[in-house]
Amino acid sequence: GDIFGTGLWRSTAPTSEDFLRKLFRIRGETYQIDILDASRERDFPAKRRLSILTGDIFLLVFSVDDRSSFEEVCALRTEILAAKSKLTKSAVPEQCAQPQVPLLVCANKVDLVESERQISTADVLQALGDDCAYFETSAKDSTNLEKVFETLAKRGGLPTETGPSQHRKVSLRSYQAMRTGRVAGRGSEAPGRDDPCGALYPLARRPSFSTDLRQVIGPRTTRKPGKALEKCQIQ
């Protein structure tokens, strides 16, 4: 599956923690997107909180036929907003504002018949409010998946070309050859230098907890608008 595409949605069964990394070359800039599927971190509060503090973009998914998954998403959304608020808190109380966290909530399995749904759209809007970015999706027929990834990219300050259908998938070898300016061999899959492309980084490992901890307690700098991200983590 694609790190930033439908591969994340093919299985409708609960998943354990997984970590994926994808590298992009878009309009001459390089991007690295790390995706952490942390569905089992519910049993490890400290670990989950660290993942929240180091995450840049959050995608929360529940199944419309599983009320407990919706309740968990609501609780997790509250936890994320609270954690990010404390992280960005100013020493001057009047300067403290609600953080603008790039966060989307998705209802999966909307292809089910109405009688099988336990959560209605009205339930979601009542619980999360009208200001929450909410999408109804289906892993089975790909309903709204493109729109979800487009919105994730825009809210996270990423090019929309990171969306699954907006760039060419290449091997890591072709990606590296293009970056270094080497001429690819005959029949190569490497795109032109101006064509957006992405390569899955094989055997990528999640950064250690000590690395995450240093990132949280170390100096934090404000990212300049329009500057390409060196790394973006999606939880």
For the chain, how many structural domains are there in total?
Answer: 1
The predicted structure's pLDDT at residue 46 = 83
Give the residues across from 30 on adjacent strands. 25
Half-sphere exposure of 23 (CA within 13 A, CB side): 16
Contact (Cβ atoms closer than 8 angstroms) between residue 156 and residue 7: no
Tens digits of per-residue pLDDT, 176-209?
A: 888 777 655 555 555 556 789 999 998 888 777 6
Half-sphere exposure of 184 (CA within 13 A, CB side): 18
**HEC secondary structure over 83-141:** HHHHHCCCCCHHHCCCCCCCEEEEEECCCCCHHHCCCCHHHHHHHHCCCCEEEECCCCC
List phi, psi (to 5°) of 166: -105, 5
Residue 57 located in a structural domain: yes
Q: How far is CA 199 from CA 13, 165, 187, 196, 209, in A?
A: 26, 13, 18, 11, 26
Residue 224 located in a structural domain: yes
Residue 1 located in a structural domain: no
> Burial of 100 by CB count in 10 Å (0-12 exposed, 13-18 middle, 19+ buried)?
exposed
pLDDT tens, position by position, for the chain (235 residues)?
333 233 334 444 554 458 889 999 999 899 999 988 877 777 788 888 888 888 899 999 999 999 999 999 999 999 999 988 887 664 444 444 445 789 999 999 999 999 999 999 999 999 998 889 999 999 889 899 999 999 999 998 999 999 988 999 999 999 988 877 765 555 555 555 678 999 999 888 877 767 777 776 775 544 444 445 455 666 6
Residue 126 located in a structural domain: yes
- Alpha-carbon distance 125 to 76, whole Å? 16
Contact (Cβ atoms closer than 8 angstroms) between residue 1 and residue 7: yes
Per DSSP (E only), the strands in 117-227 are 133-136, 168-169, 197-200
**CATH classification of the domain holding 179:** 3.40.50.300
Which domain covers residue 226, as residue numbers? 6-234
Q: How far is CA 215 from CA 22, 57, 101, in A?
A: 21, 16, 18
List phi, psi (to 5°) of 56: -105, -35
